[in-house]
Amino acid sequence: MSVMSSVLLLAQEQAPAAPVRAEAPPVTAIWPILIVLGAACLSVLFEALLPKDLRWSFQVALTLLTIAAAGVKLITYVSDAPAAGETAMFGTLAVDRPALFLWGTLLALSLGAVLLIADRSVEPGGSFVATAAIRPGTVQDRAQVASTGMQTEVFPLTLFALGGMMTFCAANDLLTMFVALEVLSLPLYLMCGLARRRRLLSQEAAVKYFLLGAFASAFFLYGVALLYGYAGSVRLADIAEAAAGSDRSDTLLFAGMGLLVVGLLFKAAVGPFHTWTPDVYQGAPTPVTAFMAACTKVAAFGGILRVLQVALESTQWEWRGVLWGVAIVSMVIGAVLGLTQTDVKRMIAYSSVAHAGFLLIGSIAVTDKGLSSTLFYLLTYGFTTIATFGVISLVRDSSGEATHLSQWAGLAKRSPLLAGVFTFLLLALAGIPLTSGFVGKFVVFEAALSDGMGPLVVVALVASAVAAFFYLRVIVLMYFSEPAADGPTVTVPGAFTTAAITLGVIITLLLGIAPAFALDWASSGVFAIR
Amino acid sequence: MSTSSTGSWLLAALLLLPLVGAAVVVALRGNDSTAKAAALAFSIAEFALAIVAWVQFEPGGARLQQAFSFDWIPAFGVHVSFAVDGIALAMIAVIGLLVPLVIGAGWLDKLPEGRTKGGFFALILLEQALTVGVFAATDVFLFYVLFEIMLIPMYFLIGSYGGARRQYAAVKFFLYSFLGGLIMLASVIGCYVLAVEQNGTGTFEWAELVKVVSTAPLETQIWLFLGFFAAFAIKAPLVPVHTWLPDATAEAPIGVAVLLVGILDKVGTFGFLRYLLPMFPLASKELAPLVLVLAVAGVIYGSMLATGQRDMKRFLAYVSIAHFGFIALGIFAFSSQAMVGSVTYMVNHSLATGMLILVVGMVIARGGSSRVADYGGMAKLTPVLAAMLLIAGLSSMSLPGTNSFVSEFLVLIGSFPNAPVYTIIATVGMVLAALYVLWLYQRVMQGPVRGDALVGAAGGPGTMVDPAVGAKKAIADLSGREKLVLAPLVVLIIGLGFFPKPVLDVVTPAVDATMCQAALADPVQSGERQLQCR
């Protein structure tokens, strides 16, 4: 398939109302994507046509309904989907069991993130800037902070990003994957710059993310080009076939593979390609950070799993050693640099780098178990992270969120419930039994050990122990330290944030105590190679 | 798997009752006195249940009794299954005894500002439920889960209610144990993977895993052994990974120190017996010298540091480290006599050291200082307290007639044929024990009344000196409550010193079974006792 036609097809796919041709493929499988992207377009029209004071309520209703509708479509499809999966949109999308699991995970996680984004009780007017195009620190900026308006464009941006993520982890060829990567990234770059307070930090985060993201996209695209040169096709299955038995130059293959994987690792915030993570996590509005941390991770690892298991499986002995090293570097960077952080959002960012290392361990075990365990880990990590950022958004002082760790001292005395919930979430991130974090680690390490990666598992366990120290430090601060005199206050969250945190905490507990159903779902099938 | 279903409700009740108790006590925490009464009532009820379980247990019956089990995560063959053998039962009985005593001893303790008695006792009851679970678990996954979870209440007990450096001590305690646990997790998963390779389906059922793993080649066993051993050595603790214990003991409130040393640390030596020997018999034999060296080093090092301690609570920690050395020696000397000695040592150490900690706590509560140098001649003011310290101390140095003598003697005499050099060195520890116990008693209790804690710094605040005795008025002898707390321990220390049969009868079949699982034979078939493997 030529490059041109692939792009055209993608354009068609983004317009759900496109005329159905006679030989059109079945669309039942991809209804969830169509609904999300269609609603995103509708949402743009809302922005353009609705009066300002109606936009927020319409946008929230539309976004929540979209996610619910896509979820319902997904569930009805899953019940009678072919076990081996099928392709859609002329073979550009592979709707197989892992893709369906990832879609379900993304929809569920984005529901939590949208609830956080929609909240206007914690910060009057919401966490988003009223007018993005004013200079920070000016009189207008101060007026903007006090106003209750917000840029409701964040909702269509969220939906576009979500649609991009869903396409990304179902993409059956590298070009679709690249377009999906851009569809998911561009809205995120914008969303990072929309914080109501600390505008400079937020804009800096957006620019950093954009510049480094553009680099990563270039790497990815260059890799695609080289692989096309090698295999004569961008389809994953064709690349797999070419790599399995051909006497073509390996240079193209390995160079293309390396560049491609670097692009993917960047999106997944795996060390040493993590450098954007702490700055962006800290600067972005906290609900957007939650969305990025949970959903982007899921999508990026969905893509990594598909590329490694479908296209590059036969060459695993070439790349495995390198990714071993990358996983170790990521875990060490996350655990060690996490120790030195004084800002709670940056700390969670480094924690996510360490978690990316654990996820990579599951991904490079190219077995069915490796796949299902990584999928399960993504599900558990996403929910815990959303709830974690939800809680972080509640601790505030007069200048906004109080994210400096010293401000969290003695929080348990003022707000035992919040401290209890946060402690539970931190223990889940540390991987203590009876939380989903433990079961996730357990299944990933089990898959890795079965695949003969004993030393890597030992490194991972030591990294977990080191990382446990910085989670513990927060617990120590909250419970065993005296509160500061002018410490922050804990905002009583409104319905949306409460719902998001409750959702995250319940799933974290549920998957820790009774993980059987989710494990079964995660291991219900493998990637379709066609 | 040989289990009997009779009395399985008992074990379920033993596990659930403290949990219910913790919930009730938390609900009542607004009112200190009702919360305290509820906590005491629940802990006494739990002790009564433990006695019923003891009576129901048939020493000659199946290895694991009172079992119950149901599926937890079928995909990984994980069960929630509990059962007790003689060793686990003895430890559960000790837990049942110590918790009411700890609650009684902490009845009037002042807690840090903003903390309630209800919260404190609820955490203790929660810890009790988890430790009962750890000893009773017969699924390795479940054991691991409880092994890690039981750190959390203890972490909050030390960190929220402890002394000045409690944050440091709590974090150190948690990190050491958590790291050990994670290393064990690697081995736990490794055992599971072995089971999958061998049987096609994985399981975590202890009895099944023993069959699979004990036949694995030596090299595999050594790696898996080391994973479990790391966790148990930190928990026990053996030198050189013991450094968390003195800090944790020194900063923990007295009652919590009793639970820490008396119960939590026993999970380590229990793990040697339940997991290391049966699952990795080849590796156990191969690595026994390593463990023996650490054990004997612990005996000598612990004894010497105990002798030199200036702080009474740290003293207690080092005494325990020395005793854990004896226990490990008895287990890895591979004779049923020494192993029975070690198991009874586990029980007796909980009683003797538990009492020693409680008595030292009573001394500290009077003087307000834990420095040995702040005391002197206290026996003149508090003769009954002095007598209690002497009894607990004499039991800690294994004087004949006290319970610890029986176990220490069994350990030494049983270890000698297989490990003569180690045994001889360890015997030096007995001499050092006499030194550190008697010297402590002499410095604190004998001679003229002296020391800042008793006489008070001249002119300082709160020095209401009674001219008749020349000491602070607050220094009074034991109250009725304190006597009541110590009485059961005194009775058991002396009673089990003369008549240890009840404990020996319960633990011996379990020890024999462990010896057989580890394919060990007694070096000398002594007297009537013959090791018979079924």
At A149 the pLDDT is: 79
Select the highest-mean-pLDDT range: A22-26, A400-404, B308-312.
B308-312
Asked if pLDDT for residue A136 goes beyond 90, the answer is no
CA B376, CA A335: separation in Å to the nearest integer? 50
Cβ contacts of B148 on chain A, cutoff 8 Å: 432-433, 438
Asked if pLDDT for residue A22 goes beyond 60, the answer is no
* Contact state of B149 with A446 under an 8 Å Cβ cutoff: no
Domain assignment present for residue A3? The answer is: no
Name every residue whose Cβ is closer than 8 Å to that of residue A224 and which is 6 or more positions away in sequence.
A174, A175, A178, A234, A256, A260
Q: Residue A161 — very low, low, confident or very high, per pLDDT cuts 50/70/90? A: very high
In this complex, the residue of A446, A515, A519 whose CB is nearest that of residue B192 is A446
Q: Render pLDDT for A455-467 as a digit per residue (tens, 0 to 9).
A: 999 999 999 999 9
Asked if pLDDT for residue A12 goes beyond 50, the answer is no
**A510 token code pair:** 């549920």
Q: How close does chain A come to B150, measured CA to CA in Å?
A: 10
Q: Is B528 exposed, middle or buried (0-12, 13-18, 19+ CB in 10 A)?
A: exposed
Domain assignment present for residue A8? The answer is: no
Domain assignment present for residue A491? The answer is: yes
Half-sphere exposure of residue B68: CA atoms within 13 angstroms, side-chain side: 11
Nearest-10 Cα torsion for B495, B500, B505, B508: 140
Q: For chain B, which ranges sit under pLDDT 70? A: 1-7, 456-474, 523-532, 534
Q: Is A245 exposed, middle or buried (0-12, 13-18, 19+ CB in 10 A)?
A: exposed
At B375 the pLDDT is: 87
Asked if pLDDT for residue A125 goes beyond 60, the answer is yes
* Contact state of A432 with B182 under an 8 Å Cβ cutoff: no
Q: How close does chain B come to A459, measured CA to CA in Å?
A: 10
| Section A402-430 average pLDDT | 90
At B67 the pLDDT is: 85
Nearest residue of chain A to residue B74 (CA atoms): A516
Residue B111 contacts residue B161 (beta carbons within 8 Å):
yes
Q: How close does chain A come to B155, measured CA to CA in Å?
A: 10
Name every residue whose Cβ is closer than 8 Å to that of residue B105 and which is 6 or more positions away in sequence.
B254, B255, B258, B358, B361, B362, B482, B485
**In the 8-state DSSP scheme, what is residue B400?**
T
CA B340, CA B503: separation in Å to the nearest integer? 10
b/e sequence B34-46, b meaning 16+ C-beta within 10 Å: bbbebbbebbebb
- Would you kindly state where each structural domain of chain B is located, as residue ranges? 8-517
* Contact state of A480 with B174 under an 8 Å Cβ cutoff: no
Name every residue whose Cβ is closer than 8 Å to that of residue A205 and which is 6 or more positions away in sequence.
A192, A193, A279, A280, A282, A283, A284
Residue A527 contacts residue A96 (beta carbons within 8 Å):
yes
Q: Which of B19, B185, B224 is most worth mutating to test chain A (most A CB atoms within 10 A of its CB)?
A: B185
Q: What percent of chain A has pLDDT above 70? A: 95
In this complex, the residue of B74, B159, B186 whose CB is nearest that of residue A461 is B186
Cβ contacts of B179 on chain A, cutoff 8 Å: 462, 465
Q: Which of B144, B178, B228 is most worth mutating to test chain A (most A CB atoms within 10 A of its CB)?
A: B178
**Sign of torsion over alpha carbons A312, A316, A320, A321:** negative
**A45 token code pair:** 């029209």
Asked if pLDDT for residue A401 goes beyond 70, the answer is yes
Range of the domain at A416: 23-522
Q: Residue A15 — very low, low, confident or very high, per pLDDT cuts 50/70/90? A: very low
* Contact state of A479 with B160 under an 8 Å Cβ cutoff: yes
Range with lowest mean pLDDT among A141-150, A316-325, A339-348, B155-164: A141-150
* Chain A interface with B: residues with Cβ < 8 Å: 413, 427, 430, 432-434, 438-439, 442-443, 445-446, 449-450, 454, 457-458, 461-462, 464-465, 468-469, 472-473, 476, 479-481, 514-516, 519-520, 523
SS3 A398: coil
At A23 the pLDDT is: 44
Q: Render pLDDT for B47-93 as a digit per residue (tens, 0 to 9).
A: 999 999 999 888 888 888 888 888 888 888 888 999 999 999 999 99
At B332 the pLDDT is: 92
At B525 the pLDDT is: 56
Nearest residue of chain B to residue A446 (CA atoms): B189
Domain assignment present for residue A396? The answer is: yes
Asked if pLDDT for residue A226 goes beyond 90, the answer is yes
Cβ contacts of A438 on chain B, cutoff 8 Å: 145, 148
* Contact state of B170 with A480 under an 8 Å Cβ cutoff: yes
One-letter amino acid identity for B41? Answer: A
Selection from A514, A367, A464 nearest residue B196 by Cα: A367
At B469 the pLDDT is: 59
Nearest residue of chain A to residue B169 (CA atoms): A476
Task: Report the complex ipTM.
Answer: 0.85
At A169 the pLDDT is: 92
At A261 the pLDDT is: 94
Cβ contacts of B73 on chain A, cutoff 8 Å: 439, 514-516, 519
Cβ contacts of B170 on chain A, cutoff 8 Å: 476, 480
Range with lowest mean pLDDT among A204-208, A246-250, B254-258, B438-442: A246-250
At A138 the pLDDT is: 84
How much is the pTM? 0.89
Domain assignment present for residue A49? The answer is: yes
Domains held by chain A: number: 1
* Contact state of A433 with B144 under an 8 Å Cβ cutoff: yes
What's chain A's average pLDDT? Answer: 89
Residue B256 contacts residue B126 (beta carbons within 8 Å):
no
Selection from A166, A152, A151 nearest residue A67 by Cα: A166
Asked if pLDDT for residue A380 goes beyond 90, the answer is yes
